[in-house]
Structures are given as C-alpha cells and as structure tokens.
Amino acid sequence: MGVEEEIVQKKRSDILFLRTTFFFSKEIKKQSLPCIVVIL
C-alpha cells in the first residue's frame, strides 16, 4: 500500500513538473529573455 502511494505521488509530481516546464517554455517564447532574467 505504501509503495503504491509513493509511485502515485511521484507520477503526480512528474506531471506537475512537466506542466510547469511546458508553461514556462510557452511564456519564454512569448516574452523571450526578460522573464528568465527576472527568475534568476
């Protein structure tokens, strides 16, 4: 039971990471470099 829960959590965090990365790459394409500079 515990192991399955861990796998589900991992999948969720991976999906969240991919979504965030996808979102940021779209934003970066729109605004190019300025937002990268702001993040750093």
With beta carbons less than 8 A apart as the criterion, state whether 28 and 36 touch: yes
Mention every residue, 6+ apart, whose C-beta is less than 8 A from residue 27.
35
- 3-state class of 1 per DSSP? coil
Residue 7 CA: distances (Å) to CA of 17, 21, 28:
15, 21, 31
DSSP state of 29: H
pLDDT value at position 23?
87
Domain count, the chain: 1
Backbone angles phi, psi at 28, to 5 degrees: -65, -40
pLDDT value at position 14?
92
pTM of the model: 0.52
Structural domain boundaries enclosing 26: 1-39
pLDDT value at position 13?
92
pLDDT value at position 30?
74
Q: Judge whether residue 2 has pLDDT over 80.
A: yes
Q: What is the pLDDT of residues 4-40, one digit of tens each?
A: 999 899 999 999 999 988 888 887 777 766 655 665 5
